[in-house]
Chains A and B, each alone.
Chain A
Amino acid sequence: MRITLRLWRQSSPAEQGGFVEYVREEVRPDLSFLEMLDELNQDLERAGREPVAFEHDCREGICGSCSLMINGRPHGPGAGTTTCQLYMRSFADGERITVEPFRSRAFPLIKDLVVDRSAFDRILQSGGYISVGTGQAPEANTVPVPHSVAEEAFDAAHCIGCGACVATCINSSAVLFVGAKVGHLGLLPQGKIEQDLRVLRMVRAMDREGYGACSFTRACEAVCPKNISVEVISVLNRAYWRARAKEFLGWIKPVR
């Protein structure tokens, strides 16, 4: 296969960035997209030029490191996949492929195709957990959890924090990500206890990072590598207005 790559190159946030074209000959269809970039980088390095910076780690679709916007779609063509699971057989011979970094104010660019997604971590640090200390836990089977609840909680908990939802959203909204965590923990009996506090803190932390609001285009669901349903957004909204009403009416203490 012959592929023309149009890659965003930007050596640092301070410098001006732009697209650079690379033509790749004899690309094998069973090569993964990232392996194709590896080959390009190897050639660039041999020629003494700076390789293209991109993020990756597990290369099996679970760590959430890879983050490319490929031809206008996060993680490229194909549903329920990450960039690392994208294979060159998904492209046509002679195709021109545009690769950009994820773009959002909350994801500032570091270099080339690498962005800083620590905003997600900060949201979770504000309340995306169950407050249980090591050693405090009761026997595991003390609290039964219905099969369907455990399955639904897993579906939401499967989020890998890659940021594709934000990247594709016209509003750069992070509600699918936040909703997935609020949904996962709020479904389980162990997590229900702090749900009000959690949702108020997480929504405020989300707003602090500068994400937009949700206008329910459902593009996030369509590009989510883990097929997380937009129902988690509904769960988040429901949990939020309930908690907010309680806070407003003084039924719970004002949340920091």
Chain B
Amino acid sequence: MTERTRLSTVGLKILMGVTGLFLVGYISLHMLGNWQIFLPAVYINQYAYLLKSVPLLLWTVRLLLLASFVVHVSCAVRLAQIRRLARPVPYDQHKPNGASWESRSMLLTGIGLGLFVLFHLYHFTWHLPPFSAFDGFTAHLKETSRSVPDVHRMMVEGLRNPWVAAAYLLGMGCLFFHIRHGIDGIFSTLGLVNRRSFPWERWLAHALGWVFFLGFSAIPVAIVLGWVR
């Protein structure tokens, strides 16, 4: 590839930011959907059935997600490679000098998040052992008296185990730090900030981080504590 067609480091970051933003958009909807767990079981089951009943939408979203994820991860791999090459001899002493922990650990929290996503799919989407029993959970929707997967029960059963819940919390911890810095970085990468807007965009990034962390974590916590049955 010539220099003009190859992605520049700035271009890589922009791709990283745009795909990241798409993923953040997705998890926002995901979180809103999940909150139906706090309502009677029928809500989330109906919602899940609705999603599954439109395969075109479901698979479009899934493929877009997959594509974003792949692009996001491959950019990260390339950037990590560039980073390693850019400093062949390490420092003996290197202070963070004002750089936050999350900003220096995007790769770590990103890997953590990736592992979590795999686990999450394994757990709730693929229902592979030891979670094969989830396949058998069904519920009846009153209106249609049709038998649909009982997502509510699956979540409650699936997250009641403190180890699993802990794994989810750990995943959300990664998400928290990854998003906190990710949003901060997206603003800069897309060239949307200046000296005067820094305080609020940083505030926004931190607020979103907390919203996602607390919003998602509330579910396993509530289940483990027995508030949701």
Contacts and interface: CB of A to CB of B under 8 A. Distances in A.
Interface of A: 8, 19, 69, 71-74, 98, 100, 103-106, 109, 168, 170-173, 175, 203-204, 206-208, 210-219, 221-223, 229-231, 233-241, 244, 247, 254-255
Of A19, A106, A233, most B-chain CB atoms within 10 Å = A233
B107 to A, nearest CB: 9
Contacts of B185: 215-216
A233 B14 CA distance: 13
A19 B4 contact: no
Given A234-B193, A234-B194, A168 B97 contact: yes
A236 B10 CA distance: 9
Contacts of A172: 83, 86-87
B192 A207 contact: no
A170 B14 contact: no
Contacts of B8: 203-204, 207, 240, 244
A55 B42 CA distance: 72
B103 A216 contact: yes
Interface string B75-119: 000010011011111111111111110011010000000000000
A229 B86 contact: no
Contact of B191 (A72, A109, A208, A241): A241
A212 B194 CA distance: 22
Interface in B184-227: 184-185, 187-195, 198
A173 B99 CA distance: 14
B104 A244 contact: no
Contact of B9 (A104, A207, A234): A207
Contact of A211 (B9, B106, B198): B9
Contacts of A207: 3, 8-9
Q: Which 9 residue pairs across A and B have the least CB separation, nearest first?
A: A238-B191, A222-B98, A217-B99, A72-B95, A72-B93, A213-B9, A172-B86, A212-B86, A217-B103
A79 to B, nearest CB: 9
B13 interface: yes
Contact of A237 (B13, B89, B100): B13
Contact of B89 (A103, A223, A254): A103
Interface of B: 3-4, 8-14, 79, 82-83, 85-100, 103-104, 106, 181, 184-185, 187-195, 198
B97 A219 contact: yes
Given A100-B93, A168-B94, A215-B106, 20 more contacts: A71-B93, A73-B97, A98-B93, A100-B92, A106-B86, A210-B85, A210-B86, A212-B79, A213-B9, A213-B12, A214-B188, A215-B79, A218-B100, A218-B103, A222-B97, A231-B195, A237-B13, A237-B14, A238-B190, A254-B4
Nearest to B7: A207
Contacts of A98: 92-93
Given A104-B87, A216-B103, A241 B190 contact: yes
A105 B10 CA distance: 18
A204 B3 contact: yes
Contacts of B83: 170-172, 212-213
A241 B14 contact: yes
B94 A72 contact: yes
A208 B92 CA distance: 27
A235 B103 CA distance: 20
A171 B14 CA distance: 16
22 contacts: A69-B93, A72-B94, A100-B92, A103-B89, A170-B104, A171-B82, A204-B3, A207-B3, A207-B9, A212-B82, A214-B13, A216-B184, A216-B185, A218-B99, A218-B103, A219-B98, A231-B195, A235-B194, A237-B10, A237-B189, A238-B190, A241-B10
Contacts of A255: 4
A222 B98 CA distance: 6
B86 A104 contact: yes
B193 A231 contact: yes
B191 A244 contact: no
A153 B28 CA distance: 39
Contact of B188 (A69, A204, A222, A230): A230
B206 to A, nearest CB: 14
A98 B92 CA distance: 8
Contacts of B99: 170, 217-219, 222
B72 to A, nearest CB: 14
A91 B94 CA distance: 18
